[in-house]
Amino acid sequence: MTARELDRIIEMAWEDRTPFEAILFQFKLAESDVIKIMRKELKPSSFKLWRKRVNSGVSKKHLKKRNDQISRFKCSRQRSISNNKISKR
């Protein structure tokens, strides 16, 4: 895994609107693998805050818990075909 891919996985995991299923689809990493990466790469206090937020009702990191209107996998600022690169404004 490249540093760029690792950064993208962490960014997707940190974002509340990005479900674990999107990470699985794009990087073939299960939720448990994402948790291991986050535990390894984040400071302990940051990891605890992230886990608390993911486990609470605030985060909708699972598609089954989400509102049907928020079912897309990508941010509106991202290009549709260019490997999640942020489009230039």
Residue 84 domain flag: no
pLDDT class for 17, splitting at 50, 70, 90?
confident
Question: Which tops the pLDDT comparison, 22 or 84?
Answer: 22
Residue 79 domain flag: no
Residue 58 domain flag: yes
State the total domains in the chain.
Answer: 1
The pLDDT > 70 percentage for the chain reads: 63
Residue 13 domain flag: yes
Residue 86 domain flag: no
Q: Tell me what pLDDT residue 71 has.
A: 47
Residues 36-64 pLDDT 10s: 999 999 999 999 999 988 887 655 666 66
What domain range is 38 assigned to? 3-70
Residue 64 domain flag: yes
DSSP string, 53-86: HHHSSS---SGGGS-GGG--SS-TTB-SSSTTPB
